[in-house]
A and B are shown apart, each in its own frame.
Chain A
């Protein structure tokens, strides 16, 4: 077995407790270890990505137990892509948090971040549905800590909502898993796929219930329309660098849908055939619409970006709901794009927030306006899907994939009008924040400095004299977006191959259950 496969889970799992136990009082050492861990993760995921690129599915059996009985980790092209995306985003977030001093505003930032990475990376790797639940809980419990990092009344109140909502989602997840287990007698995903395929056609009512509950769980994580209420309040009130990391968390929901509904409830399973297309597509379109409208209506930059993230989730889910290999390839391309774009915009929003407050009203000009404004505009262009950046390519791919669909005009109209509304919203906010602030007639009284309520905060870290590291992080993400645009061709080759692999689940099942050897 390839032991590198489990390293993305084990490495943060070692670094996080080490940070808490040994480095509790040494912030600079915490930073060094956290950064080293994330860089190592990036290197590991790069190697894993290179290994998965040739189309082999690698299986890691924990404790050497064969597949349906033991827990397995599975690496295929989709997992490798998501791993790489996570570690890349994490590197930017860690750099930003160190540079901006966010990690000094409460305790255990780096430990929680490592635990969160462990949960996310594990969720992408696991091949067992119950294990997916456990990794969900790991990433959620770390996210609760990160969400209220730094404290403050508003953040704590938003945190309560966030935690309660996610606990509800977890209960629903357990109900769904229980239902699936009672029907099939297994929770290994590959084994589930086999058993679901063998189920007699008139005995699938319970299976459908389980499948719908599972879809609801992933929809909660992905912030699909009727279940999206948690996202704006949580993300806007969370520390914004943390919100940037959370940009990958909504993708975990999208990943769950993709994985379960290509592997277990694939297109050929009659019982759940119409589920994705009939239910997810309208919800995704509405999500896109509400996200765009929210961007237009936001009065605060954190909420602006949060709604932008919802809109891009809508686009992504439209592509997933079309449920063809071509659309799935487009969805994967868009996943990478929207994670990088949302991460970048959340970081830029934090730069703005630090310097002048988050309200979208004209105020006094802030330091480094020009640099931040250009980053904001480039991020907004990417997020709204205007040329020349990858958002445009991604949306074009999604719309192209929708061509043969019955609702093609609806899809095109919603995506195009949504993009228009989004760009208007971002342009309005950007004008108000960056341009009107130079016009003296608009300047209002600056708000009084809010005192730091955390005694732990270190003054020199709070006011970095020459904060270059945050800009390094932002430009890193921006470079990712540019690379994604420039190398759209090779990237698309990879996502096409990934989609082909997803829609041929036998490769996955054979690898996990070792059917070929028997």
Chain B
């Protein structure tokens, strides 16, 4: 299981980094999502991998429990990454509609920095 888990984190991260290095906004946003998936899985693993163990102490029976803190951290991280993905999608859409182009890098032009009257 450790091998599967580690390779999943590794592949997600590698694919995410690859996509982030692309030139258009859509792959970059996808890459960011993959990267956050990778991070979230990684955070799970920081509390040691355990199967069939609840993240709470049980006072009635001697059962093993897994570290609850990483689960709380992952929950926070998921919410934040969702919000951030929504924000970046909105800004990228705005930039695309405004510039008629979804290149991630800015075209060097001679007009000055813009429509910022």
Contact = CB atoms under 8 A, between A and B. Distances in A.
A134 B73 CA distance: 10
B62 interface: no
Given A164-B104, A170-B84, A154 B116 contact: yes
B76 interface: yes
B112 A358 contact: yes
Contacts of A141: 83-84, 87
Q: How large is the interface on B (under 10, 10 to 19, 20 to 34, 35 or more residues)?
A: 35 or more
A174 B112 contact: no
Given A130-B73, A168-B32, A153 B114 contact: yes
Contacts, number: 130
Given A130-B76, A157-B106, A359-B112, A163 B95 contact: no
A185 B81 CA distance: 23
B91 A453 contact: no
A88 interface: no
A187 to B, nearest CB: 8
Among the interface residues A150, A156, A300, A451, which one has the most CB atoms of the partner chain B within 10 A? A156
Interface stretch (A113-121, A176-184, A417-425): A176-184
A235 B113 CA distance: 11
Contacts of A453: 115
A415 to B, nearest CB: 30
B81 to A, nearest CB: 8
A132 to B, nearest CB: 12
Contacts of B28: 164
Nearest to A138: B80
B6 interface: no
Contacts of B46: 178-179, 181-182
A164 B32 contact: yes
A205 to B, nearest CB: 15
A450 B95 contact: no
A230 interface: no
B20 A164 contact: yes
B95 A156 contact: yes
Contacts of A157: 95, 99, 106
A302 B112 CA distance: 11
A444 to B, nearest CB: 12
Contacts of B45: 178, 182
Among the interface residues A155, A178, A181, A450, which one has the most CB atoms of the partner chain B within 10 A? A178
A452 B117 contact: yes
B55 to A, nearest CB: 15
Nearest to B73: A130
Interface in B55-112: 67, 69-70, 73, 76-77, 80-81, 83-84, 87-88, 91-92, 94-95, 98-99, 104-106, 112
Contact of A154 (B80, B94, B113): B113
A293 interface: no
Nearest to B77: A174
Contacts of B76: 130, 134
Nearest to A144: B87
A36 interface: no
Contact of B99 (A144, A150, A156, A358): A156
A167 B30 CA distance: 12
B42 A450 contact: no
Contact of A156 (B67, B87, B94): B94
Interface string B12-40: 00000000100001001100100110110
A285 B76 CA distance: 37
A171 B41 CA distance: 12
Contact of A178 (B36, B39, B99): B39
A150 B98 CA distance: 13
Interface in A176-233: 177-179, 181-182, 185, 187, 233
Contact of B114 (A152, A161, A175): A152
A440 to B, nearest CB: 22
Interface string A487-516: 000000000000000000000000000000
B94 A148 contact: yes
Contacts of B36: 171
B43 interface: yes
Contacts of A164: 20, 28-29, 32, 88, 104
Interface string A430-469: 0000000000000000010111110000000000000000
Contacts of A452: 117
A168 B70 CA distance: 20
Nearest to A130: B73
A213 B109 CA distance: 36
A160 B112 contact: no
B84 A155 contact: no
A134 B114 CA distance: 33
A151 interface: yes
A158 interface: yes
A343 B54 CA distance: 51
Contact of B112 (A178, A179, A185, A300): A300
A308 interface: no
Contacts of A185: 67
Contact of A163 (B48, B81, B87, B113): B87
Interface of A: 130, 134, 137, 141, 144, 148, 150-161, 163-164, 167-168, 170-171, 174-175, 177-179, 181-182, 185, 187, 233, 236-237, 239, 300, 302, 353, 357-359, 447, 449-453
Interface of B: 20, 25, 28-29, 32, 35-36, 38-39, 42-43, 45-48, 67, 69-70, 73, 76-77, 80-81, 83-84, 87-88, 91-92, 94-95, 98-99, 104-106, 112-117
8 contacts: A148-B91, A152-B115, A154-B113, A161-B105, A163-B84, A171-B32, A174-B77, A233-B106
